[in-house]
Homo-oligomer: A and B are copies of this chain.
Amino acid sequence: MATAAHRWVMTAAGEPLIRQDFDPWAPGPGEVVVEVAGCGVCHTDLGYYYDGVKTQHALPLTLGHEISGRVVAAAADADRWMGRAVIVPAVIPCGRCELCERGRYVICRQQKMPGNDIQGGFASHVRVPAYGLCRIDEQRLAAAGLELADVSVVADAVTTPYQAVARSGLGEGDVVIVVGVGGVGGYAVQVAATLGAHVIAIDVEQAKLDAVARHGAAMTLDASEIEFRELKKAIRSFVEGNALRATEWFVFECSGTAAGQRTAFGLLTFGSTLCVVGFSMEKIEIRLSNLMAFDARALGNWGCEPALYPAALDLVLDGRVQLLPFVEQHPLSEINEVFEAVHAGGVTRRAILVPERTA
């Protein structure tokens, strides 16, 4: 192959990511090589890079688990994928173990998460298992006005809240509250809205609230401006004013912060469902028995099983979930600057890193 492959490697937390040439051209059994079109920058990547969250794979490691691209090499047993445009699931189950056989794909103990268990997508190429790849219909993609790089964020950012919403069982007319409407939470808002829910969005950044107000949120609340009591009162007024249910609210914690988790837990009421979608290392102090007193439940959600990817992608290709207002592309070579800007809160949209193609 003429094209050299390269990737950006994390050598230690906080140290500048380093560009490295490598040779991806040897897919093992069941594997493919994907020429990366784009890879989204997720809160989880920043957790590894800034907050000392440990990756499963020892450093040095290429981060990045929101990958779209095209299959350019494949093992003999995966050659049906050659040339196809695909989304790589953020969590790739093995598909063969006892847990997978019982449909518990997301807790498969042999699962591979690019940029955590194996080399990730901040690279020109990535080698991944073919199992679970999501095929992209390029005609529909073009008709939707999207580039292949744009749908990278379907892995994780769209599919993770999609699975959380699907599991919660929410539906038409339900009250949904999304805490943290950034890269992931914004899609929680949109997916819930496609199901006919009344969605209330909470964040500490007005720009993010403005964005979801145009795409699915019926009400927005800036938690940096008001006390929790006022927040709750505002929600109650909205619910009463619109003759919605006073019970069984669905609360999605997507901020991955202790403050967001406290807010989310505090909003539980009778029969409520709390979906824990965001991750934080921090502990919070809660009265666990509120779950009992409210007959409420808290559902953790890890990734999304590959079988749900096509339906999530359909929402995007049908234009029912909008990506373009929530993403922005950057050259992969600017990865260090982009990480810093995202970490500093200066990037409202999801950053997608796009490898430069040099012939």
Contact = CB atoms under 8 A, between A and B. Distances in A.
Interface of A: 99, 104, 106-107, 109, 247-248, 253, 256, 261, 265, 270-271, 276-303
Contacts of A298: 288, 291, 297-298
Contact of A301 (B247, B282, B295): B295
A296 B292 contact: no
Nearest to A291: B300
A286 B261 CA distance: 11
B107 A247 contact: yes
A284 B285 contact: yes
A295 B289 contact: no
A294 to B, nearest CB: 6
Nearest to A284: B288
Q: How many copies are assembled?
A: 2
A285 B288 contact: no
Given A296-B300, A297-B298, A288 B286 contact: yes
Contact of A247 (B109, B282, B288, B289): B109
A276 B274 CA distance: 14
B279 A99 contact: no
Contact of A286 (B106, B247, B248, B283): B283
Contacts of A290: 300
A159 to B, nearest CB: 14
A294 B301 CA distance: 8
Contacts of A99: 247, 271
Given A283-B286, A288-B261, A302 B295 contact: yes
B248 A276 contact: no
Given A276-B292, A291-B298, A292-B300, 4 more contacts: A279-B293, A280-B289, A284-B286, A289-B300
B270 A292 contact: no
